[in-house]
Amino acid sequence: MAETRRRLRSSTVVLGGMGVLAAALSACGSDPDRRCVDRDSYDYINGYKIVADKNCASSGSSAGKSRKKTGKTKVADADWYYDADVSGGYADNGTFSRSEAVDRGGFGCDGSGSSGG
């Protein structure tokens, strides 16, 4: 018996290739990993203490928003900290600049990206 091979049409190959390319490009344009940290809590060994996301501005800008104290609860001088190494409730070796974190790259991009965890 003669073995018959199924030939893929060139349009199928092109469309498949476009899908892979689209996935790679969207991964490069994604937002960097970020953590809300207390800017006043830096520890030389551990880094910045991670606080609740509600303490950071939701816009994602790194303008260093300081918060007022309400009653006995002190709210941290919190800001977003990008592409940090996270361990034990602390974040270190990151940046407060979102644009710098995006320039570092990520999955499928040039540069040395890191993931939190």
Q: Which domain holds residue 64?
A: 33-117
In a domain, 66, yes or no: yes
Does 11 reside within a domain?
no
Let me know if residue 59 belongs to a domain: yes
Tell me how many domains the chain contains: 1
Lookup: tokens for 56: 């950071």
Q: Is residue 6 part of a domain?
A: no
Domain annotation covers residue 42: yes
Give the confidence band of 12 by pLDDT, cuts at 50, 70, 90.
low
Local confidence band at 31 (pLDDT 50, 70, 90 cut-offs)? confident
Which of 29, 30, 80 has its CA nearest to residue 59? 80
pLDDT, one tens digit per residue, over 81-96 is: 999 999 999 999 999 9
pLDDT for the residue 75: 56
pTM greater than 0.75: no
d(Cα 20, Cα 40) in Å, to the nearest integer?
Answer: 43
